A and B are shown apart, each in its own frame.
Chain A
Amino acid sequence: MNKEKNLLILRILQNPFFVIANVMKQSRDILKIRLLRILTMTVERSSVGFCKILILGIAGLTISITGCKKDNPDPVDDTPKPGAYETGIFISCEGPFGSGTGTVSFYDRSTGTVTNDLFGLINSSATLGNVVQSMSIHNDKAYMIVNNAGKIEIVTYSDFKTAGTISGLNKPRYFLGINSTKAYVTEWGSDGLTGAVKVINLSTNTVSSTISTGNGPEEMIQVGESVYVACGKYGADSIVTVINSTTDAVVTSLNVGIGASSIISDANNKIWVLCGGDGYPNYSESGRLVRIDPTTNTIELTMEFSDPNSNPSNLNINNTKDKMYFIYGGSVYEQSTAAVSLNTSTLINRSFYGLSIDPTNDYIYGADAGDYVSDGWVIRYNSSGTIVDSFQVGVIPNGFAFN
């Protein structure tokens, strides 16, 4: 018996196929099923020749299995940190094009830690949708504008728990809170051309009315009672639509220049609009930086960029509202609100997909989307353009919300 056992073990070691054959032989005796006999015979007969192949196979398989470990994903440590989002920076990331979902990353200034996909982390892996265009903080809520999905996801920003959804929007772009019960959202419309501002009732999270604007409406700014809407992304229009935020009526529209998209207000309560130019395929009209006096709703100053082949974008302003920043020709420029001509010396010799200024320390935040299919980076610079540090965020970082 013992000898037989030893022989069996030896055989097993020699050829694992004998194990299968043996098991089958035994079960065949019990079950006497013809099918099993065929299987047994097949295995027995193939085992002899197959043994040789197997040795080679095992060698190869070992290589691939050891390789496999490397190919399977590493576990990611993502433990939620509830209540930790009172102060810090939210970075909205568009997510992979086509089939991806956008995410929000959170950067804690004091510890320097980054939490990626905060929304999924807190809300049991729920997704924001395709494509997260921008994010705004208003009252105690954060609003994530999801362009393709045509909706706005709402969270309470202190704990980032979901607090509702506003749906029924067509290509929404940016959000502006007017008061505790009202907000404006720019959208490009179902055809991508019929620009509008949707008035949102924040008590019910529904669209209460629609205000027609210029085409391709983008960012908005409120000065006093008036809301200024920059219309004309990608050369779709060239106006700023002015809306009375109490009556929701269009007051006037100002012809600023083709490609109006970024808008800010400065320390003197003047409004600055950055127009990108007409862009592709004509490249005939250059971009412009335009100053508006909101008391008279007139254009006070127009500064034209020299190169029609480059579209200036991403106009931002510092905390004291006297220095503006924008991207043009592959670099970041600083522009004083007092200057009457464009600054031609670069501040940061690098272009970004998104740009913003931290109001607490005037740090410049540049979003680098890398290859657009992997996690992007945020690079921080101090106000003089010297690099401070960088951290990794979600896929295609685009917008910032500071708190």
Chain B
Amino acid sequence: MKKYIYLVLFFYFCFPKLYSQQDSLESDSYTLKEIEVFTDRLHDFSSGSKILSIDKKILEENQSGNLSNVLAQHSPLFIKNYSISGLSTPSFRGSGAGHTAILWNGINIQSPTNGLIDFKLIPISFIDQLTLQYGGSSSLWGSGAIGGSIHLNNSAVFNQGFTANASVSLGSFDNKQENIGLGYSNDKISISGKAFFKNAKNDFNFENTAQLGSPEQTISNAETRQNGLILNNYFKINKNQIVNLHAWYQYNDRNLPPSMTINQSKSNQKDKSFRSIAEWKIKKTKESYSLRIAYFNEELLYTDSLISLESKNNFQTLIAETEAKFEIGKNQFLNLGINNTYNSALTKNYLGLKDRNRTALFVSHHLQLFSRVIKITSSFRQEFIFNGDGPFTFSEGVETWLMKTFRFRGNISKNYRIPNLNDLFWTPGGNPDLLSENSWNYESAIAFIKCIDNFSLDAEITAFSNNVTNWIIWLPNNMSVWSPQNILNVWARGLEYDLSISKKINKFKIDVSGQYNFVRSTNEKTESANNAALHKQLIYVPSQKAMGNIRLTYKGYSLAFIYNYIGYRYTTSDNKSYLNPYQLVDIYFNKSFFIQNYTAQLFLQANNILNESYQAIAYYAMPGASYLAGISISFNQKNKQQ
């Protein structure tokens, strides 16, 4: 147990940002006694990287939201939304949609076929911790971690007795969601299950700027129906061993609305996914071992009755991973691991069943000097792909404190993304000779951190540069067949300003935070005769995103104002066409009531209160002002011996 507490303490020390957040947790009656950190690699071997942990409070108030909403509001990611119900993918630090690794309890869940995951299909209610690691970290997480990585983690709570939770929410455009959760934990086991049911008509009105006179229209074919179940179970076999079982099933049925330039759409997408992870951990005084096995089975059925299209895809993933961590002396850890990932995909778009197996060896080392004033981490990863190239990556990070107030960090890493199965096997056009995309990532930052009594301030400036080569794009080949090729070289660089201030006076608390991100992500190489795209910003990468957040907390009341500004996004590679900037203001209000074993929470949300008419992707309408209200009731019966 002590180990875990140490980890938590270590975590605080590493990321003072969390200090204020944890503080806010304590102010409420949520007493999370022990938090288990499952993805130790993130905490032990990412010194020098920028980490953003999304406040638990934000996750709580977005229990009927999805990853797309939360990251659009609270992270530097630009979320590319194909309308309200369609695909939602990120651009992290000026990178492409497949350049952000998404890990669930440390295991990558990006689709093996297109390398993406739709952020709208990840319900916030299924995540206990949401952490963003900026920049490349392929040496820790493997393929895809070029622009950054997103960690969706579940954490165990022991000795809580019986817990039950139910919530309902109602929102604009007939958006209804119900969540229910049940859990039991004593000092040996912790079991919990959560389910959600969501139905939305999404029939909002929008200004159709694609038509003469910009008439107001109602979006059609945007209905969404989702339901899911997640089970998180933890069993302590003895003092040193724990077995964790995670299972996540989800069914999504959504209609995809037409773009503004098309009158109607009859397309529908059904995604069915089952993901499971089993983990066994052994902890000893100076060493620890873990073994993970993950199995994912995903099904995607896309139909378009207008063109009688029916495309069914099924893909499966089997991952086995084992690692061993050793403490060397008092100031060093060494981690050794091996990962084997097997993917198979059955789709009409390939000629028969296609699969791929790959193995990776990874080593990480952490060194602390001068009683933790300087931390240095080094990581290496060698991937072996059956019948393909095997990228070698590494990262070297350093972090140091000056006068307990200034933190300097720096990081150099080499990262990669392997071609996905569509790139290799799509018919027609798939190119089996593709190489992995590579990136060199550099970053450094200086932070000023101050915590006095009930006041905390955290300000940071980060500069980064990320050079991606062999970037895969699809272009027609000599036979006029669209085929992927390792063509682009992209240089993304930028500056990030982060500021968060929090102040507590008796029961009143104010948190103010702001972020400003500036990214230039330019095309540095073109092979075609037309090189108008050379040195131009990539399409759908805004060079500016600014965020502001004010939260007032008093007793059980919480009021938050969330502001977002997204700058110009180009829609053509020569930067001649663009979408205008937009700003969104959201207001969240919560009130908690505590009655004996019950906690009730009332929440009201107003999104886009300025009623801004905007598009994230050209000609895909997004909703104007919308509202949501809901109530959540939790019950907790503590164990008797406590």
* Residues of A in contact with B (beta carbons under 8 Å apart): 38-39, 41-42, 45-46, 49-50, 52-53, 56-57, 60-61, 63-64, 67-68, 71-73, 76, 96, 99-101, 123-130, 146, 148-151, 162, 167, 170-171, 190-193, 279-281, 309-311, 313, 329-330, 351, 353, 368-377, 392, 395
Contact = CB atoms under 8 A, between A and B. Distances in A.
A261 B398 CA distance: 63
A281 B427 CA distance: 8
Contacts of A374: 530, 532-533, 572-574, 576
Contact of B495 (A64, A150, A375): A64
B463 A311 contact: no
Contact of B261 (A57, A128, A167, A371): A128
A172 B510 CA distance: 59
B529 interface: yes
B578 interface: yes
14 contacts: A41-B503, A42-B510, A45-B457, A46-B457, A49-B405, A49-B448, A64-B494, A68-B543, A71-B568, A99-B618, A99-B620, A101-B618, A170-B307, A392-B532
A110 B263 CA distance: 38
B544 interface: yes
Interface string B505-536: 10010101000101010000010111011000
Interface in B562-598: 567-568, 570-578
Contact of B448 (A53, A190, A370): A53
Contacts of B573: 371, 373-374
Contacts of A60: 461, 463, 495, 497
Interface of B: 82, 209-213, 259-263, 305-309, 351, 405, 427-428, 446, 448, 450, 452, 455, 457, 459, 461, 463, 473, 475-476, 478-481, 494-495, 497, 501, 503, 505, 508, 510, 512, 516, 518, 520, 526, 528-530, 532-533, 537, 539, 543-544, 567-568, 570-578, 617-620
Contacts, number: 184
A294 to B, nearest CB: 30
A372 to B, nearest CB: 7
Contacts of A376: 530
B428 to A, nearest CB: 4
A160 B273 CA distance: 51
B88 to A, nearest CB: 14
Contacts of A309: 479
B520 A311 contact: no
Contacts of B306: 170, 190
Contact of A162 (B212, B455, B459): B212
B581 to A, nearest CB: 9
A392 B530 CA distance: 10
Nearest to B579: A73
Contact of A52 (B82, B448, B510): B448
Nearest to B537: A71
B474 to A, nearest CB: 9
Contacts of A71: 520, 537, 543-544, 567-568
A373 B528 CA distance: 12
A76 B574 CA distance: 13
A76 B576 contact: yes
A48 to B, nearest CB: 9
B263 A149 contact: yes
Contacts of A57: 459, 461, 497
Given A96-B571, A192-B308, A371-B526, A167 B479 contact: no
Contact of B480 (A56, A125, A313): A313
